[in-house]
Amino acid sequence: MVAGSVVSVEGRIMLCRRAIEPRKGYWTLPAGFLELHETPEEGAKREAWEEARARIAIDALLAVYSVPRISQVQLIYRATLAEPGFEPGPESLEVALFDWDDIPWSELAFPSVKWALDEYRIRLGQNVFAPGVNPPGMTGDLF
């Protein structure tokens, strides 16, 4: 189980450049494996802190993705900063905020990052919605 979040800050999206493999140097959402006895929400908050030194407030479950190739289920939340400030944690080379048109689409680490960003865009302004799932025919194979 993986938990993560699409964190928006004043209309911009937070991405982390990975400092670890797989896909070192590529951009991703703050996300990672759940720890024992941790809820997905707690895991998403912990990962945002570990990767971006960001304290987040979760708004909603944005999407649930299945990636059978690597035996993962990913729970992605929609979130904002709970308090100001962020900086790279030990698993990130850098953390940056991107306007939609400036997101480095060709440098995203995993297909599910793009899926989550697209889902986030679709759900802008919606307070109640069913979580998104894998796009039709997509199983999470690398780009």
User: What are the E-state strand segments in the chain?
Assistant: 2-9, 12-18, 27-28, 31-33, 56-67, 72-81, 92-98
pLDDT for 138: 87
Question: Residues 7-20: pLDDT tens digits?
Answer: 999 999 999 999 99
Residue closest to 55 by CA, chosen among 17, 117, 9: 9
Give me the amino acid identity at 122. I
pLDDT for 142: 63
Question: Residues 86-121: pLDDT tens digits?
Answer: 999 999 999 999 999 999 999 999 999 999 999 999
pLDDT for 9: 97
Provide the 3-class DSSP secondary structure of residue 89.
coil
In whole numbers, what is the pLDDT of the chain averaged over residues?
96
Residue 143 pLDDT exceeds 60: no
Give the global pTM: 0.95
Helices (H), 55-101: none
Measured between alpha carbons, how far is 110 from 84 in angstroms, rounded to an integer? 27
Instruction: Classify domain 2-123 by CATH number.
Output: 3.90.79.10
CA-to-CA dists, residue 122 to 31, 57, 81, 92, 115, angstroms? 21, 20, 20, 27, 11
